Amino acid sequence: MLLISRWWDAGVVAAAVLVAALAVATTEPTPWVTVTALAALAVAHVLLGRRAVRAEGTALAYGYAAIVVVCVGVACAGAPIAAMVQMVAYPVIWMVSPTVRVALGWNAAMALAVFVGTGWTGDWTDGLLTALLSCAMSVMVGLWITRMATYGAERDALIAELRATQDSVAALERQAGQDAERERVAREIHDTIAQSLTGLVMVAQRAQREAAQREAGGEAPDAARGAENLAVIAELATEALGEARALVAGYSRGGALTESLARLAEGFERETGVRVTLTDERVDRALSREQEVVLLRCAQESLANVRKHARASHVLVRLTDTPAATALTVTDDGVGLGPDGAVPSSCAPGEGRGLPGMRQRLALAGGTLEIGAGDGVSPREGTRVRVSLPHAVVAPAEAPGVAAPPVEPRAEAVR
């Protein structure tokens, strides 16, 4: 349905008044029939035009169209120049017609009225030419405008459908991202905290069984054994706490690797008494969240090794970058590597799990792991662990919808 504006109302009335004035000025005697018909057309449009357009296809619309046709025909009968009013009469016909077929019928009626009215007082040939030309022009313009309106409506419908599809896809992507994030968090918890808590439960259950066996046999509690179990429980609980803190740091806001490492170093220093120095020498610190998690996990594993085996008093953690990669270096002033710089045999595949897990995680991320002697952090040789991660590579294990392979769940790896 085409909307009708106040400017169109004013245009129809002005056209009727202008044509009436021309008829009076050019016709003798004064064509009162034409003036009356045009006045009736203007009044009918003011009273019924807007409502007829809004109620297209109803009796009101058809009644208004009939009034317009009759008024134009009578005006042309009084003065042939009144045929000029067709310039607003034909658009009105199209406005109140619900379909193209109905509009064509009213166009034919209008052409017949103009032909009869103009030929009644003038030349029938001129009346026929005027009616045919005006009707043909109206049909061509009307069909073109109708086609454009139909195209616009179809385009609006397609745009609305596209937007609905985009909203649906965005909702699915958000849901997929949430599901992937849940899986990733569950995987990280399983690989870290859950393993430490499992060991904690097993030690506690072992202590309970030993206590129950001694009580059943009438033996006194073994204080040394109890103290050993308590020490193991305390150690496992401390590791679980550190892993929980590291996990929270790993899932903090993006771009916060330095802050996360600082919290990890602070906790390590508080729990072990080993001094940790953290430096960030990067120029471009833009890393994806997945890359930050990989580097943070590697730092966690490296510090766990220092705590377990290095007997160090100072650890230097450095973040550096090159045009192609970001490097994390953890250097301690501990006892160093084995003879000839070899990694101790306890780190061989199948025995130690921390370093193999780190290598596996880095392999999935396209990174590398290097282990060697320290680089002068103290007079003692010490050990240096260097992790390099390319800027453009995102770890597949952290990508949505890709299951991560098992990575060392606890921070008790050995070098």
pLDDT value of position 4: 55
pLDDT value of position 252: 55
pLDDT value of position 97: 85
Please write down the HEC assignment for all residues of the chain: CCCCCHHHHHHHHHHHHHHHHHHHHHCCCCCHHHHHHHHHHHHHHHHHHHHHHHCCCCHHHHHHHHHHHHHHHHHHHHCHHHHHHHHHHHHHHHHHCCCHHHHHHHHHHHHHHHHHHHHHHCCHHHHHHHHHHHHHHHHHHHHHHHHHHHHHHHHHHHHHHHHHHHHHHHHHHHHHHHHHHHHHHHHHHHHCHHHHHHHHHHHHHHHHHHHHHHHHHCCCCCHHHHHHHHHHHHHHHHHHHHHHHHHHHHCCCCCCHHHHHHHHHHHHHHHHCCEEEEEECCCCCCCCHHHHHHHHHHHHHHHHHHHHHHCCCEEEEEEEECCCEEEEEEEECCCCCCHHHCCCHHHCECCECHHHHHHHHHHHHCCEEEEEECCCCCCCCCEEEEEEEECCCCCHHHCCCCCCCCCCCCCCCCC
pLDDT value of position 143: 85
Per-residue pLDDT for the chain (415 aa), expressed as one digit of tens each?
344 567 888 888 898 899 889 888 888 788 888 899 999 988 988 888 888 888 877 888 889 889 999 999 888 888 888 888 888 888 888 888 888 888 899 899 988 888 888 877 777 887 788 888 888 888 888 888 888 888 888 899 999 999 999 989 988 888 888 888 788 778 778 777 877 788 788 888 888 888 888 778 777 677 777 788 788 888 888 878 877 776 765 565 545 788 888 888 888 888 888 899 999 888 766 677 788 888 888 998 889 888 888 888 899 999 998 888 889 999 998 887 765 444 543 344 333 457 787 888 888 888 899 988 876 545 567 899 999 988 754 444 443 333 333 333 333 333 3
- pTM of the shown model: 0.41
pLDDT value of position 271: 81
